[in-house]
Amino acid sequence: MDKFTNLTGVAAPMPLVNVDTDMIIPKQFLKTIKRSGLGANLFDEMRYDREGNEIADFVLNQPAYRSAEILVAGDNFGCGSSREHAPWALLDFGIRCVIAPSFADIFFNNCFKNGILPIALPQEQVDILMKDAEKGANARISVDLEAQTITSSDGQVFTFDIDPFKKHCLLNGLDDIGLTMERVDDIGAFEARQTAARPWL
């Protein structure tokens, strides 16, 4: 996993609430056995018509946002299916940070496993950043994970909360499995206790 430290980039505004993972990456693209290459089909049914032509007014098709690295979104972003293909598709497109008033639980966790930073902010602050994002490619938003700050294009600074362990993993690009493997003795001891107390498990 790539580290996430600082990011300054174009933010695409997507004010829709309840954006679900079926929208982010429709089912027909879940048949892949790889993690890569899904960016071309990110938001596929909103982004292309049936013949595969771009729908001009979709935000990521607009010239200003074609190389967006941040998404500013509506409430409950990433709800629905647990498909990790959703963060894979965002990452493959180039999005490293999503800012929204709230996120669905599984999507939120999946982001951290892929070096994407999801940031939940109060609605009023998201509204300000949404307006900023609507200004287009010249309005670049900066995110500093170490300092836990977001700076809008006109210099307004917002602070955000993040779980310390998740922050540590992102900053250092750590693989959780490697970290858990260091606790293999604790896992073995738990299994021994459980087998003694609840042998049917």
Partner 1 sequence: MTAPKTLYDKIWDAHLVHEAEDGTCLLYIDRHLVHEVTSPQAFEGLRMAGRSVRAPEKTIAVPDHNVPTDPDRLSGIKDEQSRIQVELLRTNAHDFGIELYDVDDVRQGIVHIIGPEQGWTQPGMTIVCGDSHTATHGAFGALAHGIGTSEVEHVLATQTLIQKKSKNMLVKVEGELPPGVTAKDITMTVIGRTGTAGGTGHVIEYAGSAIRALSMEGRMTVCNMAIEGGARAGLIAPDEKTFEYVKGRPHAPKGGEWEMALEYWKTLHSDEGAHYDKVIEIDAADIAPVVTWGTSPEDVLPITATVPAPEDFTGGKVEAARRSLDYMGLTPGQKLSDIEIDTVFIGSCTNGRIEDLREVARIVEGRKVKDGIRAMIVPGSGLVRLQAEQEGIAQKLIDAGFDWRMAGCSMCLGMNPDQLAPGERCASTSNRNFEGRQGYKGRTHLVSPAMAAAAAVTGRLTDVRDLM
In the complex, the smallest distance separating the C-beta of residue 84 from partner 1, rounded to whole angstroms, is: 4
Q: Please count the other Cβ atoms lying within 10 Å of the Cβ belonging to residue 59.
A: 20
Q: Which region, judged by CB under 8 A, interacts with partner 1, from 52-60, 64-72, 90-98, 185-193?
A: 185-193
Interactions with partner 1, residue window 100-129 (CB under 8 A) = 102-106, 109-110, 113-114, 123
DSSP string, 120-188: E--HHHHHHHHHHHTT-TT-EEEEETTTTEEE-TTS-EEE----HHHHHHHHHT--HHHHHHTTHHHHH
Owner of token pair 């647990």:
82
Which helix H or strand E contains 92, and what residues bound it? Answer: helix 85-93
Q: Is 148 in the site for partner 1 (CB under 8 A)?
A: no
Q: Is 173 in the site for partner 1 (CB under 8 A)?
A: no
Q: Which is nearer to partner 1, 79 or 143 (CB)?
A: 79
Interactions with partner 1, residue window 42-71 (CB under 8 A) = 45, 50
Distance CA 42, CA 127 (A): 24
- Give the angle 104-72-56 at the CA atoms, nearest 5°: 110
Binding site for partner 1 (CB under 8 A): 15-18, 20, 22-23, 26-28, 30-35, 45, 50, 74-76, 79-84, 87, 102-106, 109-110, 113-114, 123, 163-165, 176-177, 179-181, 183-184, 186-187, 190-191, 194, 198-201
